[in-house]
Amino acid sequence: MGEDVSGTVSRIGFWAAVFATLFSVTYIVAQLGEWLGLLGSSGGPESSSTPFGLIVLLTPSLFLGTAFVVLMVSVHYYASEERKIWSHIGLVFATIYAVLISINYYVQLTFVVPRLLQGDVDSVSLQPFLFVPFDSFLYSVDILGYSFMSLATLFAAFAFTATGVERTVRWFMIANGLLIPFLALQIYYHPLIWIAALWAVTFPGVTVSLAVLFRRTSDTVAEPAVAPA
């Protein structure tokens, strides 16, 4: 597949993968800190975050949505013609994910956090928008969004072959996709979050392996020379 990919696709794909890795790892480190009680909460996955915790957790998560969509666009243009159906399905699911989590996190950062900082915790208008683990409307929206992310990687996995670096990408994408039931059903059975937390391994595995793939592709692609006028 890589031999037919333009240098532009390779470069955009590489940088999208780099930024997706950066934002996801930043979030993972912040989430570990949150569960350990280092960001002001009482710790553990069922504790509500402080305003500071929300800022630290959700800012990289908001940017991750955009980076992931750009990455999936690059995957779609990388895929061979007969495999583009899989990358296209993945791109659609990635777009749904980005819309859901972007609305959620933007509301948290621009509407909820400023009011929490002002001490307006008991406002009736604020209650529907509070992000309470396992027990709020927007938490349900969040896990729905990440379920669509997993669907995106599960389908996009079949845009890749089973050889070389593509094989690594493919298996990380499938592994990330198989987390769907643990992501979606944790709202009913909370301990499933510990299996869903394997996302901290599978998703960076996807982005890092894609960065390697696009970098290698970029190194083998020469842009066509422009003939002198």
163: DSSP letter: S
Q: How far apart are CA 154 and CA 170, in angstroms?
A: 9
Q: What is the pLDDT of residue 123?
A: 64
Q: How far apart are CA 68 and CA 149, in angstroms?
A: 9
Sequential pLDDT tens for the chain (229 residues): 545 678 899 999 999 999 999 999 999 999 999 999 999 888 898 888 899 999 999 999 999 999 999 999 999 999 999 999 999 999 999 999 999 999 999 999 999 999 888 877 666 467 778 888 998 999 999 999 999 999 999 999 999 998 899 999 999 999 999 999 999 999 999 999 999 999 999 999 999 999 999 999 876 655 444 444 4
Q: Say what angle helices 51-78 and 84-107 make with each other, to 10 degrees.
A: 160
Q: What is the dihedral of CA 40, 68, 202, 113, to 10 degrees?
A: 10
Q: Which residue has the tokens 């599978």?
A: 202
Task: Give 209: exposed, middle or buried? Use CB within 10 Å, 0-12, 13-18, 19+.
Answer: buried
Q: Where are the domains of the chain?
A: 2-220
Length of the chain: 229
CB neighbour list of residue 91: distance below 8 Å, 6 or more residues apart? 69, 72, 73, 75, 76, 152, 156
> Tokens at residue 187, please?
């709202």
